[in-house]
Amino acid sequence: MTRLEARNIYRTQKDISILSNVSLPLQTGKLTCLIGPNGAGKSTLLRTMCGLDRPTSGEVLLNEQPIQFLSHRERARLIGYLPQSRPLAWPIPVRDAVALGRFAYGARPEKLSPKDAQAVDQAIHDCGLTALQHRATNTLSGGELSRVHLARAFAGEAPVLIADEPLSALDPKHQLRVMNLFRDYTAKGGTACVVLHDISIAAQFACELVWMKSGKILASGPPQETLTSVHMETVFEVQAEISDGRLRDLSL
Ligand code: ADP
Ligand code: MG
């Protein structure tokens, strides 16, 4: 069982507070959805939880150990990360891009062990990329490329997955397919934390909604408890009509 927890994280950049006293113990085997307006600090928090950004104060614990004590390889084996911006400079085949997810196991795209190859094939299948696996990544649409990056993250088979806006650029069918992948992943014991902008989808799939604004967590809890018109107004500054735990209408 792998536990990831942010404790009392502060981050300031040029005297501007970006994260302020953020604590987030990820619930093991659950899907946590981080929601909040642009600039709330969601990506910064995720990068900090992966050990990629150092907090100004506070700590991130991975299995009770400060995350900076682990090697890059150990971290990569324990945490799969899908960043929000995903540059891919080279026109490499889709399958090789997905195989990069096995790098932490010493794999190289042209030299995969049977276990690596199986994980890569599974991720390609799960992300609906089978027909595209021999295409060059620079010939894909934005949504297709987005699924390649997601498949790379899943191929690592890490016990924790952190995904920053995994649904961006995806059509409705693929949005639901990807959310089902996260659901299956957590049902098998994986711990996932994803940033979503679609509140309806977040409420439908999340075990825990974490509401962020201006570098702070304003509320967290199951959608049934925290999806309220008050939170929609304080966090997103929109008027929301909610009934039976579902978002019915949004207006300014
Ligand atoms: P979100 O993902 O919620 O949209 P971010 O975590 O990307 O927000 O950014 C939070 C805030 O921190 C934003 O206002 C952003 O402009 C600011 N920020 C992030 N990184 C830096 C940086 N390196 N220097 C200055 N400001 C930054
Ligand atoms: Mg972001």
Ordered structural domains, the chain, with CATH: 4-251 (3.40.50.300)
Confidence band for 120, pLDDT divided at 50, 70 and 90? very high
Question: Residue 84: nearest ligand to its CA?
Answer: 2
For residue 88, what is the DSSP state?
-
Residue 215: the pLDDT is 98
69 CA → ligand 1 middle, Å: 25
DSSP string, 96-135: HHHHGGGGGGT-BTTB--HHHHHHHHHHHHHTT-GGGTTS
Tell me how far apart the alpha carbons of residues 72 and 52 are, in angstroms, rounded to a whole number.
Answer: 10
Question: Residue 83: nearest ligand to its CA?
Answer: 2
Tell me how far apart the alpha carbons of residues 153 and 123 are, in angstroms, rounded to a whole number.
Answer: 9
Q: Which residue among 14, 16, 44 has the greatest number of ligand 1 atoms within 8 angstroms of its CB, and so is best to mutate?
A: 44
Tell me how far apart the alpha carbons of residues 7 and 106 are, in angstroms, rounded to a whole number.
Answer: 32
Tell me how far apart the alpha carbons of residues 96 and 167 are, in angstroms, rounded to a whole number.
Answer: 22
Q: Which atom of ligand 1 is nearest to the CA of 38?
A: 4
Lowest mean pLDDT among 86-100, 124-138, 188-202: 86-100
Q: Are 166 and 183 in contact (CB under 8 A)?
A: no
The answer to whether residue 89 scores a pLDDT higher than 80 is: no
Tell me how far apart the alpha carbons of residues 75 and 69 are, in angstroms, rounded to a whole number.
Answer: 10
Q: State which residues have CB under 5 angstroms from ligand 2, the bound ion.
A: 42-43, 84
Tell me how far apart the alpha carbons of residues 114 and 116 are, in angstroms, rounded to a whole number.
Answer: 6
Average pLDDT over residues 2-10: 97
Tell me how far apart the alpha carbons of residues 241 and 229 are, in angstroms, rounded to a whole number.
Answer: 6
Tell me how far apart the alpha carbons of residues 220 and 245 are, in angstroms, rounded to a whole number.
Answer: 15
Which residue's CA is the closest to the ligand 1 atom numbered 12?
A: 18
